[in-house]
Amino acid sequence: MKALVLYEKKDGATELREVPKPSVGPDDVLIRVKAAAVCGADIEFYRAKMTGSLRPPVILGHEFCGVVEEAGRNVKKWKPGDRVVSENTGHVCGECYACLTGQYLLCPERKGTGYSMDGGFAEFVKIPGEVLQRMSSALYRLPDTISFEEGSIMEPSCNAYRAVIQEGELALGEFIAVFGPGPIGLFAVALAKLAGASHIFLFGTAGDETRLTFGKEIGADIVARVDERSASEVISQFLGTDGVDIVIDAAGPGVVMENAMTIIRPLGRIVKVGWGKPYPQLFDPLMVKGATITGHFGYDYVSWRNIIHLVQAGRLHYGSFISKTYSLDQWEEAFVAVEEKKVIKVVFNQF
């Protein structure tokens, strides 16, 4: 089968290869991939900027969905033809605190499909029986009314759901500021709008113009480049001395956390989603405000369940998030589009 393989932890060491179709054991499920989305992390892997979790040679692609092609003889829950979306866990220990409390993504032994194990930029991907037995939510049923393209971009929206709703605990009428207009930041805007935030600020920097404009279209009230004006200047212009209730840091640099601590109101909530660059040394502003920083990674069963319901009910519109579709053969073109930030999401739908 055809697959996009990252073969070394080196800038650009990725190529389309012919590889054997995965063999299916008695407990495994083989998925024929129908759509797979490119994530910013794929570019970081490709450029060898983020390599900690990479286990090359590995097939990339951690945002994917498709139909069950084959189910091992012991598999009861799935049968060929079932439409499914993966949440990209390929291995968890099943024994640690995180696993035993159902927070599998936080398992120290977790391996993700698409970087630590073979993923969805291929004709087929295997979900091992071992993970399905420990964590049945490694696969979700994709309702018929949701297209495969939409299914492929669910993962980052679940991420945003967890940050805004479950961790940020956004209440109707609150103010929220989102730093970083990548897909997770933009989904955070869409969900904050849906959840009734009274004022949504979206902040980016140079190069983010396309995404900031899109953010405004989907519900951000104020978008601004914080390399031109500070976030606190923008916030104080609209809110006076009031701070925001929630900050979603979907960007990562230390300066964002500094900004977040400035603009958060007393007892406000900061959710750190973006991967860190150097961090500010002084967290004292948090003490005087009694504010909270929540570390965030991924999503859980609740995020997926509720996102699927929202999309199925037609409340969360995915269509506009998909800027372009490609065949897997055009992967280089798709990667460049994401790298240049001229698109929101791009999806492979031919393999």
Query: Of 6, 41, 139, 250, which one interacts with Zn ion (CB under 5 A)?
Result: 41
3-state secondary structure of 87: coil
3-state secondary structure of 266: strand
Q: Which residue has the tokens 């953010």?
A: 215
341, burial (CB in 10 Å: exposed 0-12, middle 13-18, buried 19+)? middle
Q: Which is nearer to Zn ion, 88 or 259 (CB)?
A: 88
From 94-102, 248-256, 301-309, 336-344, span contacting Zn ion (CB under 5 A): 94-102
Query: Of 39, 191, 244, 256, which one interacts with Zn ion (CB under 5 A)?
Result: 39
Q: Nearest-5° angle of CA 32, CA 34, CA 37? A: 120
Q: Which is nearer to Zn ion, 93 or 222 (CB)?
A: 93
Q: Which is nearer to Zn ion, 93 or 195 (CB)?
A: 93
Phi, psi of 57 (to 5 degrees): -75, 135
Please report whether residue 195 would count as binding Zn ion according to CB under 5 A.
Answer: no
Please report whether residue 107 would count as binding Zn ion according to CB under 5 A.
Answer: yes
CA distance 73 to 295: 40
Residue 26, number of CB atoms within 10 A of its CB: 10
CB of 166 to Zn ion, least distance (A): 18
Q: Which is nearer to Zn ion, 70 or 167 (CB)?
A: 167
Please report whether residue 93 would count as binding Zn ion according to CB under 5 A.
Answer: yes
Q: Which residue has the tokens 């605990």?
A: 169
Q: Which is nearer to Zn ion, 24 or 338 (CB)?
A: 338
CB of 108 to Zn ion, least distance (A): 7
User: Which residue from 291, 64, 75, 280 is spatially nearest to 168, judged by alpha carbons?
Assistant: 291
Query: Of 65, 99, 194, 231, which one interacts with Zn ion (CB under 5 A)?
Result: 99
From 39-47, 128-136, 228-236, 246-254, span contacting Zn ion (CB under 5 A): 39-47
Please report whether residue 96 would count as binding Zn ion according to CB under 5 A.
Answer: yes
Please report whether residue 132 would count as binding Zn ion according to CB under 5 A.
Answer: no
CA distance 31 to 132: 13
CA distance 155 to 184: 9
Contact positions toward Zn ion, by CB under 5 A?
A: 39, 41, 92-93, 96, 99, 107
